[in-house]
Structure 1
Amino acid sequence: MTATVESRDGGSGSSAGADAAGTGTGTTAAPSVTPTVRAFLKRRRAWIVIAAVLVLGAFIVMAIQGGARTPGPPLAADNPAPGGAKALVEVLRDHGVDVTEARSFDAALGAADGTATVLLYDEYGILDERRLTEISEAAERLVVVEPGFTALETLAPGVRFAGAASGPIDDVACDLGPAERAGSLSDGQRLVTVDDSAIDAGWHGCFRDGDFGFAVAAGQSPSGGDVTIVGSTTVFANESITEAGNAALAIGLTGASDRLVWYLPGPGDADAADAPTLAELTPGWVSPVMVLAIIVVIVAGVWQGRRFGPLVAERLPVNVPAGETSTGRARLYARTAARTHALDQLRIATVIRIARTLRLPRSAGVDEVTEAAARATGRDGAAVHRLLADDLPADDRALVDLAAALAELEAAVQRSLDPRSAQLDDRDDPTGRRP
């Protein structure tokens, strides 16, 4: 079987060489396979369009975010946006209050100096217990806006979160001067509760929202400093300070001293020594799973990384003769007993050569080639079709016979177009009829 397949493919290679020689072109330069810029862009135009759309979308998102971004952080003293507090700060300065914007914990601690009011808005809960205690001791009065859990536990034990207010609040419910002057607060307040232990320590709530809690709580910290808890930034923000009695309460709390330290902690104020390590943040099951995954990867690499043989250094380009390729392919077909696949390759090559010999168009199908070959050779069309498409080899012997039949059919088609064959047939048959 192998010899037959090799002879067919080898014959094809010889015919191709003869055709090339018959053209008389001689030795020609190999065409360039490096794509031009135009071909590269044409082939990848879909990806280029997708990339352009993504880039354009990114620019649009950046433009929208840039236009919507506030000029500064929420409740910043120099932020004129709706969430900032520049309006309050400017009013305080107009009334002679010296407002200092502290950008760090050390700056706030130094500016307080035991004689100033400190407004603390720790949005992300950066300060720990030690620093909260230090800032309360350094301030004459401390106003804490929207405190976190740590701030409440450290500065106001017994004061707890109680959710959001149901609406505007007009029940002052305390004798705190700024609260009495304000009289009411707008909607959007957050509430706290004051338990019995906090009441015993001197804490009291202002602006009661029914039985839910208070919008403001005032008292003394464990260190003895005056502390006022304001549950929401609504009282100080530019967009809502003019509603109800928000402005009166904000000015009364922050303007009680001649000096005000406006302190918004930043990432640099976090105590790195108290920050949890990566090992502390990692769940306990992660380390065993990582060790197991590393072992599995190593075992899989050893298992699948078997070497197939020594590396072969070969200079490129490599020209592989057609006969050598055909021989190797035939040996693979023979080794795997792929008779049907081998026969398909022989049939495809035979159909292509017959179509080329009979000058059929490249789009001609197997049926058209079968009909043309039957007319040219005088054979039965059904038999030719079975030979080119239908018959399947049951064993190697049948494959060899079909390969020989294909070669005979191709030779018959070539003889039918050779005038000398017709003359020989005429001498053998006086009638001049083709067999």
Structure 2
Amino acid sequence: MRAAAEASVTADVEGSSVDDGAAASSTSATPTVTPTFRAFLRGRRAWIVIAAVLVLGALVVLVIQGGVRPPGPALGADNPGPVGSKALVEVLRDHGVTVTDARSFEVAIDLAGQGATVVLFDEQGLLDDDRLTELAGAADRLVVIAPGFGALEAIAPGVRHAGAASGPLDEVACELGAAERAGELSEGQDLLTIDDPAAEAGWQGCFADGDFGYAVAAGEGESGGELVLVAATTVFENGRIAEAGNAALAIGLAGAADDLVWYLPGPGDSDVATAPTMGELTPGWVSPVIVLLIVVVVVAGIWRGRRFGPLVVEQLPVHVPAGETSAGRARLYARSAARVHALDQLRVGALGRIAAMLRLPRSTAVDQVTDAAAQATGRDPSGVRRLLVDDVPSTDRELVDLAGELARLEGEVRRVLGAPASDHHRDDDDPDHRDHRDDPAGRRP
């Protein structure tokens, strides 16, 4: 294909026709180059590397986040996934407990005032101290699952986090009825500690892990209601509730009354007015550093952007041989397998030369040129049109054959009209031809 493309482009640029002998010698001298799959990959390896990095990064994020998270919120009352609590809720409903899945603080506080047990799981820490205190004061029985540091400070001062348990816990160590019926808890529990002032205020720990802490802490709220803190979510999860005494503890805590409020706070329950501003969250050194960076960028732009005077335009004597241009374009056609484009270049050159030999104006339509060429050579007009316009090569061999046919058609028109051959095909012994070939003016700037 390279040979055919080089022959076609050379004929177009230099304005000369290609005969059968030249096409055959070019074909035999230069092997065809058809792009391979390896060459395709090499040309697009940058995009392949970028795509591979993106895919690898997505896989790393999935691994870090533990894969695809099951549908529904953690400990959601209607979430059947491993981290949901639908199993516990359905068991309670089967035993006659009315379970309300509260979606707002107002609903939870209203039902808590009517004597319902409230189970609170504030995973994101959306409730502020005032709302936690209000909820603890309104509920006769409040069960807080996995309380955060702020929640402990607000409703259970003196109770602190103490890390994770070393394994299953079977030392009840308290007089809480639900804990005594459970007897033991499975692995995966977190611990809480109770300091001396809290213990004197009536707080007790259940399921001790030696001297390290307790999985459950129970005490009395400021308004006299019962307050139970469960350090981990394991007891209430669908995937772990059937282990050891988890189910007995969960049912005993949540099903103590006929009405249960299952409350998972949402974004609407947070107090926007008390939320810290961006300035409060930003360290004090950030603003001066940003200002300094802006000043540095402006100074660098002024320094590097200054000009020393007007630009000087200089005419450089650059000469590019037409043959080099033709060869370069031919290699591009060959590497991209652009057979149709290479043949189009041949056809454009042939049509222009045939029109010039037939004394047709440059604005003559292609159909008129093909009809005139057919009439001059005596060929079938449809065959001439297919050769000059319609035929599409599917292989390198077909491209070479069509190039040869174009050269033969042009030669026939020249012989019929008696037009002189172009300088490109003159004998090398012609002194005028030698002068023209060696003349530096033959190069174009």
Q: What TM-score results when the alignment is normalised by the length of structure 2? A: 0.58
Letter of the structure 2 residue corresponding to residue 140 of structure 1: D
Residues 109-144 of structure 1: CA deviation (Å, up to 9, x unaligned)? 233234111101111222211111111122221001
SS in 1 for 2:152: helix
Partner of 2:374: none
Alignment of 1:135-284 (within 5 A): 135-284=135-284
Shift of 1:216: 1.1
Number of residue equivalences: 295
8 Å CA contact 2:85–2:236 kept in 1: the answer is yes
Which of 316, 321, 324 is equivalent to 1:325? 316
The runs of 5 or more residues in structure 2 that have no matched partner are 1-10, 18-39, 325-428, 433-445
CA distance in 2, matches of 1:60, 1:168: 34
Q: CA deviation at 1:101?
A: 0.9
Superposition deviation, residue 206 in structure 1: 1.5
User: Which of 269-278 and 146-155 deviates more?
Assistant: 269-278
Contact 2:193–2:213, Cα closer than 8 Å, also in 1: yes
- Could you say if the C-alpha distance between residues 281 and 166 of structure 1 is closer, same or farther in structure 2, counting changes exceeding 3 Å? same
The 8 Å contact of residues 70 and 81 in structure 1, kept in 2 or not, is answered as yes
The alpha carbon displacement at 1:77 in A equals: 0.8
The Cα RMSD (Å) is: 4.1
Say whether the 8 Å CA contact 1:117–1:142 is kept in structure 2: yes
How far apart are residue 296 of structure 1 and its match?
2.0
> What SS does structure 2 have at the residue aligned with 1:325?
coil
Confirm or deny: 8 A CA contact 2:137 2:222 kept in the other structure.
Answer: no
Distance 1:290 1:60 in 2: 34
> Corresponding residue for 1:306?
306
For 2:72 and 2:14, how far apart are their aligned partners in 1?
A: 80
* 1:412 match: none
Task: Output the CA distance in 2 between the equivalents of 1:303 and 1:63.
Answer: 46
Cα distance, 1:267 vs structure 2? 2.9
2:113 maps to 113
What is the CA–CA distance in structure 2 between the aligned matches of 1:179 and 1:66, rounded to whole Å? Answer: 32
CA distance in 2 between counterparts of 1:220 and 1:177 reads 15
CA contact (8 A) 2:168 2:187 kept: yes
Partner of 1:95: 95
Separation in structure 1 between the aligned mates of residue 216 and residue 183 of structure 2, nearest angstrom: 13
* 1:106 CA displacement: 2.5
The match for 1:130 is: 130
Return closer, same or farther for 1:133/1:114 CA change in 2, 3 Å cut-off.
farther
Give the drift of 1:52.
6.5
Superimposed CA distance per residue, residues 257-280 of structure 1 (whole angstroms, 9 cap, x where no aligned partner) = 111111112233222112111111
Residue deviations 1:274-313 (CA, integer Å, cap 9, x gap): 211111111111222222222222222223333566799x
Per-residue CA deviations over 1:79-98 (Å, capped at 9, x if unaligned) read 11111111100000001111
**Shift, 1:56, TM fit:** 7.5
- 1:166–1:48: structure 2 CA closer, same or farther, 3 Å change rule? closer
8 Å CA contact 1:105, 1:269 repeated in 2:
yes
AA aligned to 2:106 is D
Secondary structure of the structure 1 residue equivalent to 2:70: coil
Q: CA shift at 1:223, angstroms? A: 3.4
Shift of 1:145: 0.8
Residue 99 of structure 2 aligns with an amino acid whose one-letter code is: V
Q: Does 1:297 align with 2:297?
A: yes
Percent identity, aligned pairs only, is 62
Query: Partners in 2 of 1:283 and 1:94 — Cα distance?
Result: 53
How far 1:419 sits from its partner (Å)? 8.4
Distance 1:121 1:293, change over 3 A: same
> Matches of 2:58 and 2:66 in 1, distance apart?
10
- The verdict on how the C-alpha distance between 1:51 and 1:118 changes in structure 2, with shifts beyond 3 A counting, is same
Equivalent residues of 1:100, 1:260 under 8 A apart: yes
1:134 counterpart SS class: helix
Query: 2 CA distance for matches of 1:289 and 1:121?
Result: 40
Please, which runs of 5 or more residues in structure 1 have no aligned partner? 1-19, 27-40, 313-319, 330-344, 357-416, 421-435
Paired residues of 1:173 and 1:205 also in contact (CA < 8 A) = yes
Cα distance in structure 1, aligned partners of 2:55 and 2:188: 39
Q: For residues 305 and 57 of structure 2, what CA distance do their matches in structure 1 show?
A: 43
Q: Distance in 2 between matches of 1:286 and 1:85?
A: 43
Deviation, structure 1 residue 228: 0.3
Q: For the residues of structure 2 that align with 1:80 and 1:172, how far apart are their CA atoms?
A: 30
Question: Using the alignment, how far apart are the partners of 2:215 and 2:62 within structure 1?
Answer: 38
| 1:241 alignment partner AA | I
Specify whether residues 54 and 273 from structure 1 end up closer, same or farther in structure 2 by C-alpha distance, changes over 3 A only.
Answer: same
Corresponding letter in the other structure for 1:80: P
Matches within 5 A, 1:54-73: 68-73=68-73
Moved over 3 A (4+): 22-26, 41-68, 307-312, 417-420
Contact (CA 8 Å) 1:133, 1:223: kept in 2 or not? no
**For residues 45 and 256 of structure 1, do their structure 2 counterparts lie closer, same or farther at Cα, with a shift above 3 Å needed?**
same
- Change in 2 beyond 3 A, CA 1:23/1:82: closer
The 8 Å contact of residues 174 and 205 in structure 1, kept in 2 or not, is answered as: yes
In 1, Cα distance between equivalents of 2:148 and 2:280: 23
Deviation track 1:412-433 (CA, whole Å, cap 9, x = no partner) reads xxxxx9989xxxxxxxxxxxxx
Provide Cα deviations, 1:181-213, integer angstroms capped at 9, x if missing partner: 112212221111222111221111112222222
User: In the aligned structure 2, how far is the partner of 1:292 from the partner of 1:55?
Assistant: 34
Q: CA deviation at 1:107?
A: 2.8
> Does structure 2 retain, via aligned residues, the 8 Å contact 1:128–1:271?
yes
Q: Which residue number corresponds to residue 409 of structure 1?
A: none
Matched to 2:202, the amino acid is G
Distance 1:59 1:189 in 2: 31
